Amino acid sequence: MPASPPDTELEQIELDLFVQALRRRYGYDFSQYAPASLTRRVRQLVHTHHCGSISTLTARLLHEADFVTKVIRGLSVPVSEMFRDPPVFRALRERVLPVLASYPQITIWQAGCAHGQEVYSLAILLQEAGLYERSHIFATDFNSDALLRAQEGIYPARDAQLWSRNYLEAGGAYSLASYYSARYDFIKLDQKLRRHITFANHNLVADKMFCEAHLVLCRNVLIYFSNPLQNRTLELFRDSLVRGGHLCLGLRESLDFAPVATDFTAVDASLRLYRRTSQPASRERNEQA
């Protein structure tokens, strides 16, 4: 009788079957996510839902119609804050928005928008630069629950003090409190900030180009992807940008070793802010036709 496989090998088999079940049953493909991050989150799902094993988690995923919502909520990482990494938003304010001001209409894609804090931060930047009325922000995520929370624009009041500091460090000239109302233990952002924001479900793993944009932001998402998926996603962003358009990544992410690096020049490499220099391939073909 053959010996039982080691626990780590058994867990990997279970994890592979879980990923396959999620893809085949519901269309969510996590096969290219960073293995360590995915394993950690699946283990947490097993613990949270008292499943005992990944196999039991998979069985519930296949046979309980509403369980997939809880699984996706656990696998995504909708963690952010307003004006996160203030120097990045200051650079956007001082170095990117003046370039965007040259366009009659401005299109921005915030991919992986989570609960919307950075989307509203961007809206405030545009408002203070006098650009909001001719801008449109497409805020996308594959987590439908996160998108609903983003659309509400309601957040715990305990976060307001940190966010106010971030706003001032990012070059804010007023008070962040002028952009929200407080009641009980929550703050609600001014709904005027939502007028030019479209929230939509989009899966960076499986879906194609979402829009033609002058600025693409995707911060702290690629760190959860494998190298091949990172490259595919960066190609998607490159092809979505107009020539001269800007790309903003998270501080732990970089274009340095990606195949698309030659299509960009660094505006500020330390802040992961880049500008597209090459012509998008799809538009080159159109021009040659």
Report the CATH number at residue 260: 3.40.50.150
Within this chain, do residues 245 and 267 fall inside the same structural domain, yes or no? yes
Within this chain, do residues 49 and 104 fall inside the same structural domain, yes or no? no
What pLDDT score was predicted for residue 76?
A: 74
Q: What is the pLDDT of residues 248-281, one digit of tens each?
A: 999 989 888 899 999 999 999 999 999 999 765 5
**Domain-embedded: residue 21:** yes
Per the confidence metrics, is the pTM higher than 0.85?
no
Within this chain, do residues 54 and 91 fall inside the same structural domain, yes or no? no
Within this chain, do residues 26 and 114 fall inside the same structural domain, yes or no? no
**Domain-embedded: residue 187:** yes
Within this chain, do residues 107 and 149 fall inside the same structural domain, yes or no? yes
**Domain-embedded: residue 196:** yes
d(CA 57, CA 177): 43
| pLDDT < 70 positions in the chain | 1-6, 77-79, 279-289
Within this chain, do residues 67 and 92 fall inside the same structural domain, yes or no? no
What pLDDT score was predicted for residue 151?
A: 95
What pLDDT score was predicted for residue 121?
A: 97
Within this chain, do residues 50 and 112 fall inside the same structural domain, yes or no? no
**Domain-embedded: residue 105:** yes
**Domain-embedded: residue 38:** yes
Within this chain, do residues 90 and 69 fall inside the same structural domain, yes or no? no
Within this chain, do residues 249 and 192 fall inside the same structural domain, yes or no? yes
Which residue segment(s) compose the domain that 269 sits in? 86-288
Q: Which of 75, 99, 123 represents a domain boundary (last residue)? A: 75
Dihedrals phi, psi of 217, to nearest 5 degrees: -120, 130
Q: Tokens 């009980």 — which residue?
A: 184
Within this chain, do residues 103 and 208 fall inside the same structural domain, yes or no? yes
Within this chain, do residues 66 and 102 fall inside the same structural domain, yes or no? no
What pLDDT score was predicted for residue 2?
A: 53
Q: Which of 19, 41, 75 represents a domain boundary (last residue)? A: 75
**Domain-embedded: residue 1:** no
The DSSP string of the chain is: -PPPPPHHHHHHHHHHHHHHHHHHHH----TTB-HHHHHHHHHHHHHHTT-SSHHHHHHHHHH-TTHHHHHHHHHS-----TTSSHHHHHHIIIIIHHHHTTSSSEEEEEES-TTSHHHHHHHHHHHHTT-GGGEEEEEEES-HHHHHHHHHTEEEGGGHHHHHHHHHHTT-SS-GGGGEEEETTEEEE-GGGGTTEEEEE--TTT------EEEEEE-SSGGGB-HHHHHHHHHHHHHHEEEEEEEEE-TT--STTSGGGGGEEEEEGGGTEEEE-SPPHHHHHHHH-
Q: Which of 75, 103, 118 represents a domain boundary (last residue)? A: 75
Within this chain, do residues 257 and 143 fall inside the same structural domain, yes or no? yes
What pLDDT score was predicted for residue 4?
A: 47
What pLDDT score was predicted for residue 91?
A: 97
**Domain-embedded: residue 81:** no
**Domain-embedded: residue 80:** no
Q: Dmax over Cα atoms in the chain, in whole Å?
A: 74
Query: Based on the structure, what is the number of domains in the chain?
Result: 2
CB atoms within 10 A of CB 280: 19
